[in-house]
């Protein structure tokens, strides 16, 4: 089944404790992206990647890191999480390097206390 997977689906952590949210797609897609979704603010792009080893900042990259060492994986790293990073996070991928027709993973609900 073609899909984007994320782990974990739910995470409660404390301020400053490094964490990684994994994202994997099995569709051989070129483009991958991370979004956060907050009430009233919609989906905002954090980072994106148009290909292996090519990543760039989206609209809200502060406090996040990413890497794209393999085509299928695009982990999101929070080196020192803070409460304002409490949010619903989505990974997405697209066959198009331009990021059109993006397909989303199931989401990760992160709470930082």
- What are the residues binding other proteins (CB under 8 A)? 40-45, 48, 50, 56, 58, 90, 96, 98-107
Of 27 and 41, the one with the shorter C-beta distance to other proteins is 41
Of 44 and 65, the one with the shorter C-beta distance to other proteins is 44
By C-alpha distance, which of 83, 69, 65, 75 is closest to 6? 75
Of 7 and 45, the one with the shorter C-beta distance to other proteins is 45
By C-alpha distance, which of 72, 77, 70, 62 is closest to 17? 77
**Are 100 and 40 in contact, with CB atoms under 8 Å apart?**
no
Q: Name the minimum Å distance from CB 37 to other proteins.
A: 9
């Amino acid at each position: 089944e073609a899909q984007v997977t994320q782990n974990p689906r739910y995470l409660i952590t404390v301020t400053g404790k490094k964490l990684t949210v994994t994202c994997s797609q099995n569709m051989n897609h070129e483009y991958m992206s991370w979004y956060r979704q907050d009430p009233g603010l919609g989906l905002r792009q954090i980072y994106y990647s148009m290909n292996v080893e090519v990543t760039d900042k989206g609209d809200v990259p502060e406090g996040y890191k990413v890497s794209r060492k393999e085509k299928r994986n695009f982990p999101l790293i929070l080196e020192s999480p803070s409460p304002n990073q409490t949010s619903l996070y989505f990974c997405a991928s697209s066959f198009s390097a331009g990021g059109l027709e993006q397909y989303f993973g199931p989401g990760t609900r992160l709470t930082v206390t």
